[in-house]
Structure 1
Amino acid sequence: MSFRSTYPDVEIPDTSLYEFLFTDFGDRADAPAVIDGPTGNAITFRQLHELVDKVAAGLAARGIGKGDVVALFAPNNPYWVAAFHGIIRANATVTSANSLYTAPELVHQLKDSGARMIITVSPFLDRASAAAAEVGIPDDAIITLDPAEGRTSLAELAATDAAPPALEVGAEDVAVLPYSSGTTGLAKGVILTHRNLVANLCQVEPVFSVTPERRLLAVLPFFHIYGMTVMMNNGLYHRSTVVTMPKFEPQEFLRVISEHRVDYVYIAPPVAVFLAKHPIVDQYDLSCIDTIFSGAAPLDAELGHAVEKRLGCRVLQGYGMTELSPVSHAHPFDSTYDLNSVGLAIPNTECKLVDPETGKEVGPGERGELWVKGPQVMRGYLNNPEATAATLDADGFLHTGDVATVTEDGVYTIVDRVKELIKYKGYQVPPAELEALLLTNPRIADAAVIGVRDEEGEEVPKAFVVKQPGAEDLTEDEVMAYVAERIAPHKKVRVVEFIDAIPKSASGKILRKDLRAREAQKV
């Protein structure tokens, strides 16, 4: 059986992303569209629109047009927004690259996407230049958002009196190529059309209830689809003000929220851990926060409620994937649902739950891999028909690789990854459940769980634990006892290792593959 969203379908206009976002700013034209959190420098909607058109004209003068791909390799700032939409307005496609990438990792994305140009920042020039040289992108095709000696800056690119080119792209043309590992494997280019991105903005509108008066914090990276759609483009769509940060730094994060009076804060769960537990949080006036919305990885309800209690705000969460543009499920802003859940399927979305072992569809209350169908579903993976066929079936359902349950009322809960479930003596042990439990220990700052083999070859749960400051005397036995007292015997943590930090992606997902690789090196 399949489950339709409990929301009525919304109308999705047949238009390009540029036309959808940059038409008639009305009385918000001179309001700040994007504010640089560290400096306070702002760009109004009118100024942003003008800069986007100038960037498009500058790119067109350099031969960039429909069918071309431009890489954007930079941290969040207002000019990232202008560059992104300037590329789109030039009829080209953006491939957004992870700011943490090494040159070899960037080479893979540039080569695979066929990028002709890179837009970056001066601190990234060493990596960008090395990668560009490797794939044959000439030096004069490396643009910087800030001034850099010997390079063309975005301001210089936009210093033209020429009009932007005629708009040649429509709803079905490719808008962005973000890279994702999907359910498994190496990073792959995710083909997202203008329609995918426009659709997702329309779909989340009745759920997120964002208004022009709101200020949204964009500390999560724009290169990641969560930042790109939910923060950057959603803010532009609703004429809200987006406050950017180049990266998460605890004191700066709190200062920016407090000084800019940000009321909607989008985070990943590691930031929730910080907000719930770190003593420095009490030193800042965060009374401006109305809502904290968590995504990119599972948020435990107890942790979320601890944040709510400490800050006096509401905490919600949602679910999505790069391949879903990214949102498919979310708590509405007036939600009273269990915070362990990811809320409801958003409008125009159909879901199935399928038993990973039998391939049979399951009903409410049963566990199954979540399959999603809707206008937000990607076209496929670039240059990778095998991976596309393994993820996207003939009926249009995207196989997420995540195990979920659904209630009779249509409330979904993600319980783990298909590939990451630990099988202990035939029992399924979800790592995410153990991680959430470990984080309820006030002496534990962070944690991750993977399956490892014991002396008898049995797969057992191993916890990697980061101690809270002042908890240096915490022992492995104490951690195991804490879990054992609160969970079924087959789910007990049986090995503990203390480490300095849990490896995570830029979007906040635990990189369990890195922990497994660490274990493999010990053998």
Structure 2
Amino acid sequence: MDSARPWLHHYESEVASTYEYPRHNLAYFLVQAAGKNPQLPALYFMGKKIKYGQLMEACYRFANGLRQLGVKKGERVAIMLPNCPQSVIAYYGALLAGAVVVQTNPLYMERELEHQLLDSGAVAIVTLDLLYRRVGAVMPRTHLRHVIVSSLKDYLPFPKNMLYPIKAKRDGADLSVPWSESVRSFRTLLASSSAIPVMEEVNAAEDVALLQYTGGTTGLSKGVMLTHMNLIANTLQTKHWFHKAADGQEIYLAALPFFHVFGMTVLMNQAVVRSGMMVLVPKFEVSEILSLISKLRPTVFPGAPTMYIALINHPDIREYDLSSINVCISGSAPLPLEVQDRFEELTGGRLIEGYGLTEASPVTHANPIWGRRKIGSIGIPFPDTEAKVVNPATGEEAGIDEIGELIVKGPQVMKGYWNRPHESEAVLKNGWLYTGDMARVDGEGYFSIVDRKKDIIIAGGFNIYPREIEEVLFEHPSVKEAVVIGIPDPYRGETVKAFVIVREGENLTEEELNTWCRDRLAAFKVPRRYEFRTQLPKTMVGKVLRRRLLEEELEQISAAKE
């Protein structure tokens, strides 16, 4: 028994401690699935099914279409889509063409979108007519040569495809697109491109497959370089952890967005490597999810705690049959015990907590699914993954149950940050990734997160970086000072609160600030609460004491309960 890795003792007998990871293009997983199971359903979208053979053809057409447009190996292709067939086609099609995928949140406002496109140097973007205005507005200030525009109706069954534009217009959506040489139709591009198989040869260990943007406590969004090998390894590590899953038989409820690395690995790549069917959910709506579970009988449902909380608190939950669900892995935020218990009682399936971060593709730890799990723990390291807790000051390994910084090493750990060598060096040392998360490990090798990176707010599974919101607040001409913290929220885990000092002689209301933020930030980043103050607690050198503000909030919450 390895005394340095006591967790191996708790691996289920079907899970090995090490595996081989093939060195090929990540998209080869789809080529294999379509070759073996062309008639199996790959995607289900709003009543329409797409088989693996059909999906493969569409991906080949998209890859050839990109090449026709002059997109070369290594150039970046952004995808700004919710979960829909186009998001899967664009992802694998871009990889087949040898491009680097840049996933972009469809909720991003112009300011956020412009930074990401400029920083990545993306030459093409795939988006929806519904989102075109934002993309079109920033295009002249970026390196974009092509905007490829689709519509949700393109993959809807009849009569939904006919009704969609009418409903969108009634809802006030602008679906008009000024077509040109640089603004092209996704549908037309596929129709006019060859379906001849194409797959760019890659150096899997070195060539970047994905630039996945993460925030930073500095407020600067950084591109995490994940190679083909990183993503292949994490997909297969996850596959082996889910050892009872059967090829060609699993149905994956794809409610986690694919533009989030958790959804991309544990859902999209996972479903494809298993030849499973993905039930694509473009927007999480509780009643809709419950109906889909009852009707389509999904077996695997990865999610964030807020999703499970919303489901178990639905007033009509008992009217739906959720018994098809076998496995759920929860990530993005801590999973409350009562949520885990209640969800398992309702489904009869297993809901386990895991841990990951964008820089690790993302999963590094999980509780055994059918083996021994520990409540409040993120579980044990994945196969081929090393982890330890170190003293942040000395770098020496901490003792059992001592709190320190969690560091990890494995084939899923990123190559580095895009064009940021100094920041890469700061977190990658001798192959170890310094997560910045404070943790402890017990004598059996089960890890627990004690505190997140110093200032990150995790609301509804989204990482929110205070500095970015503060910069938006500071841009308001009436704001003198602003600081943002995360405060406890029973539903979102945490929610954003802003403390603001208004300039002398100026008047500012909560409504005005809210409008200001909504115009400049994605909805999930906008503060839910504002407090106007005349001063803020600070250190001797003038640094705002966020911890003090949080303590005051917690005291108020505690007093209100008494």
Whether the TM-score (by the shorter chain) exceeds 0.5 is: yes
| Alignment partners' CA distance in 1, 2:309 and 2:63 | 41
The counterpart of 1:247, out of the listed 283, 288, 293, is 283
Question: What does residue range 300-311 of structure 1 map to in structure 2 within 5 Å?
Answer: 300-311=336-347
Letter in 1 for 2:189: L
**C-alpha spacing 1:203/1:464, structure 2 compared with 1 (3 Å):** closer
1:156 aligns with 2:163: no
How far has the Cα of 1:28 moved from its partner?
Answer: 2.5
Taking structure 2 as the reference length, what is the TM-score of the superposition?
A: 0.73
How far has the Cα of 1:99 moved from its partner?
Answer: 1.4
Letter in 2 for 1:413: S
Q: Secondary structure at the match of 2:94?
A: helix
Letter in 1 for 2:203: G
Question: What does residue range 317-466 of structure 1 map to in structure 2 within 5 Å?
Answer: 317-393=353-429, 395-420=430-455, 463-465=487-489
The counterpart of 1:93, out of the listed 92, 100, 116, is 100
Q: Secondary structure at the match of 1:141?
A: strand
Letter in 1 for 2:41: P
Question: What does residue range 118-197 of structure 1 map to in structure 2 within 5 Å?
Answer: 118-138=125-145, 140-144=146-150, 146=152, 149=177, 150=179, 151-159=183-191, 160-161=193-194, 163=196, 165=198, 167-171=200-204, 172-182=206-216, 185-197=219-231
Alignment-derived partner of residue 233 in structure 2: 199
**C-alpha spacing 1:522/1:53, structure 2 compared with 1 (3 Å):** farther
More divergent stretch after superposition (161-170 vs 322-331): 161-170
Q: Secondary structure at the match of 2:443?
A: coil
Alignment-derived partner of residue 552 in structure 2: none
Q: Unmatched 5+ residue regions in structure 1?
A: 422-430, 437-447, 451-460, 469-499, 504-509
Query: How big is each residue's C-alpha offset from its partner over 1:212-237, in whole Å with a ceiling of 9 and x where there is no partner?
Result: 31111111110110111110010000
**C-alpha spacing 1:375/1:155, structure 2 compared with 1 (3 Å):** same
Query: How big is each residue's C-alpha offset from its partner over 1:386-445, in whole Å with a ceiling of 9 and x where there is no partner?
Result: 22122211x111111111222222211112114159xxxxxxxxx99xx99xxxxxxxxx
Q: Secondary structure at the match of 1:23?
A: helix
Q: Unmatched 5+ residue regions in structure 2?
A: 9-15, 155-175, 467-484, 493-513, 518-523, 536-562
| Alignment partners' CA distance in 1, 2:102 and 2:317 | 36
Say whether the 8 Å CA contact 2:59–2:89 is kept in structure 1. yes
The counterpart of 2:42, out of the listed 8, 18, 33, is 33
How many equivalent pairs are there? 447
Say whether the 8 Å CA contact 2:391–2:397 is kept in structure 1. yes
| Alignment partners' CA distance in 2, 1:412 and 1:166 | 40
How far has the Cα of 1:307 moved from its partner?
Answer: 1.8
| Alignment partners' CA distance in 1, 2:337 and 2:491 | 21
Query: How big is each residue's C-alpha offset from its partner over 1:45-64, in whole Å with a ceiling of 9 and x where there is no partner?
Result: 11111111111011100101
Alignment-derived partner of residue 25 in structure 2: 16
How far has the Cα of 1:463 moved from its partner?
Answer: 4.7
More divergent stretch after superposition (376-385 vs 20-29): 20-29
The counterpart of 2:314, out of the listed 268, 278, 283, is 278
Q: Secondary structure at the match of 1:359?
A: coil
RMSD: 3.1
**C-alpha spacing 1:300/1:358, structure 2 compared with 1 (3 Å):** farther
Alignment-derived partner of residue 242 in structure 2: 208
**C-alpha spacing 1:397/1:104, structure 2 compared with 1 (3 Å):** same
| Alignment partners' CA distance in 1, 2:236 and 2:253 | 20
How far has the Cα of 1:514 moved from its partner?
Answer: 5.2
Query: How big is each residue's C-alpha offset from its partner over 1:195-253, in whole Å with a ceiling of 9 and x where there is no partner?
Result: 10111112222212232311111111101101111100100001111111012111111
How far has the Cα of 1:77 moved from its partner?
Answer: 0.8
The counterpart of 2:292, out of the listed 256, 264, 267, is 256
How far has the Cα of 1:10 moved from its partner?
Answer: 0.7
Query: How big is each residue's C-alpha offset from its partner over 1:502-521, in whole Å with a ceiling of 9 and x where there is no partner?
Result: x9xxxxxx96x957x95587
Alignment-derived partner of residue 495 in structure 1: none
Say whether the 8 Å CA contact 1:95–1:177 is kept in structure 2. yes
More divergent stretch after superposition (338-347 vs 316-325): 338-347
| Alignment partners' CA distance in 2, 1:261 and 1:205 | 20
| Alignment partners' CA distance in 1, 2:377 and 2:213 | 27
| Alignment partners' CA distance in 2, 1:250 and 1:137 | 37
Say whether the 8 Å CA contact 1:3–1:352 is kept in structure 2. no
How far has the Cα of 1:335 moved from its partner?
Answer: 2.9
Letter in 2 for 1:409: E
Q: Secondary structure at the match of 2:32?
A: coil
Taking structure 1 as the reference length, what is the TM-score of the superposition?
A: 0.78
Alignment-derived partner of residue 290 in structure 1: 326
Say whether the 8 Å CA contact 1:207–1:333 is kept in structure 2. yes
How far has the Cα of 1:281 moved from its partner?
Answer: 2.2
Say whether the 8 Å CA contact 1:304–1:339 is kept in structure 2. no
Q: Secondary structure at the match of 2:79?
A: strand
Say whether the 8 Å CA contact 1:93–1:175 is kept in structure 2. yes
Q: Secondary structure at the match of 1:201?
A: helix
Query: How big is each residue's C-alpha offset from its partner over 1:100-140, in whole Å with a ceiling of 9 and x where there is no partner?
Result: 100111000000000001100111111111121322535x5
Letter in 2 for 1:178: Q
**C-alpha spacing 1:35/1:380, structure 2 compared with 1 (3 Å):** same
| Alignment partners' CA distance in 2, 1:519 and 1:386 | 37
How far has the Cα of 1:383 moved from its partner?
Answer: 1.3
Say whether the 8 Å CA contact 2:33–2:272 is kept in structure 1. no
Query: How big is each residue's C-alpha offset from its partner over 1:28-56, in whole Å with a ceiling of 9 and x where there is no partner?
Result: 221111111xx221111111111111110
**C-alpha spacing 1:224/1:201, structure 2 compared with 1 (3 Å):** same
How far has the Cα of 1:256 moved from its partner?
Answer: 1.6
Say whether the 8 Å CA contact 1:35–1:43 is kept in structure 2. yes
Alignment-derived partner of residue 489 in structure 1: none
**C-alpha spacing 1:122/1:4, structure 2 compared with 1 (3 Å):** farther
Q: Secondary structure at the match of 2:209?
A: strand
| Alignment partners' CA distance in 2, 1:286 and 1:522 | 52
How far has the Cα of 1:162 moved from its partner?
Answer: 6.2
